[in-house]
Each structure stands twice: as structure tokens, then as C-alpha cells.
Copies of this chain bind each other. A is one copy, B any other.
Amino acid sequence: MSAFPRFPARVQPASREALSEGLLPDLLGYRLRRAQVAVFNDFVRTMTELQLTPGQFGTLVLVDANPGLSQTALGGLLGIDRSTVVPLIDRLEGRGLLRREASPTDRRTHALILTDAGYSLLAEAVARVRAHENRIASSLSPQERTQLIELLAQIG
């Protein structure tokens, strides 16, 4: 899903009477969504100061790893539509974190590159993301965390 779609913030199980979740807890899609809500919320808290959404963070990482990346290729890596990439890049470019440069080989495409400010912010963001990862995986042993990532990779 998204760089990330917006997700509900709080999930309070409701009430005194024990409510049943039916067969939902056994469904992968349900568990996946619950887990992503939790992770998403922590990510947002982690990045409030830097003002980066998951999608924006992913963009910085990918442009850093692939200088000159095109918008369509970025969308492919991020798993979002190319029309969704436009406002994403608009905002980052507006903040001076990256630039759309002319591609020397293809005048249709924009070659995306980080600015110095973009590099600096990315470095800071990466540090925070590491702390974020430790937080969300705090109830997992290192082995469990690794295995979870591997299992997820087989599904997605």
C-alpha cells in the first residue's frame, strides 16, 4: 500500500463486555493491517520534527541509492502510481531536498537528485528510523525480527 496511506490512530478495544473479533485475528490481511497501523503511527511520531512521511523518506533513500532516477522508476520501486509521484516530488523539491534535473539522454524524463540539504536530512532521518525500528521490534528477538522480515518478503 502506500508510500503509506493514512491510517487510523488509536484502537481502543471498546468496552467492558468482551467483544469477539471473530475469525479476523487468524487472517493475514487483518494482522498485516493492524501491524502496519502500529508501525505507521510510530513512524509519524518519529518523524514529526523532520516532517517526513514514509513515502517521502522512501523517496530520499531511493534517490540517494539511485541518483538520476526517473519519476516512473521511483514509483515502480515505491509501488505507487506515477501520477502519485508528482505531488510527492513537488513537496520535496519545494523544500529544497531534491531537484528535477534534465536527463541528458531522454528529454521526457526528470533525473532526480538530492540536494545537499536532502543528504543532510536523509542522514538524520536514517538515524531516527533505526531507533524507530528498534522500538517497533522491541517485543521481538533479533532472530524473530529477521524471520518476520523474511516471511513478509515472501508474501510481498
Residues of chain A whose beta carbon lies under 8 Å from any beta carbon of chain B: 1-9, 11-15, 19-40, 43, 54, 58, 61-62, 64-66, 69, 72-73, 76-77, 79-81, 84, 126, 129, 132-133, 136-137, 139-140, 144-145, 147-149, 151-156
Contact B20 A73 (CB under 8 A): no
A151 to chain B: which residues have CB within 8 Å? 140, 144, 147-148, 151
Q: In terms of DSSP, what is the predominant structure of the interface of chain A?
A: helix
Q: A34-B152, A66-B19, A155-B136 are in contact. Are A1 and B12 (CB under 8 A)?
A: no
Which residue of B21, B36, B154 is within 8 Å of A1 (Cβ)? B36
A27 to chain B: which residues have CB within 8 Å? 129, 133
How many chain copies does the complex carry? 2
Contact A2 B155 (CB under 8 A): no
Contact B140 A19 (CB under 8 A): no
Complex CA gap A36/B153 in Å reads 11
Contact A35 B155 (CB under 8 A): yes
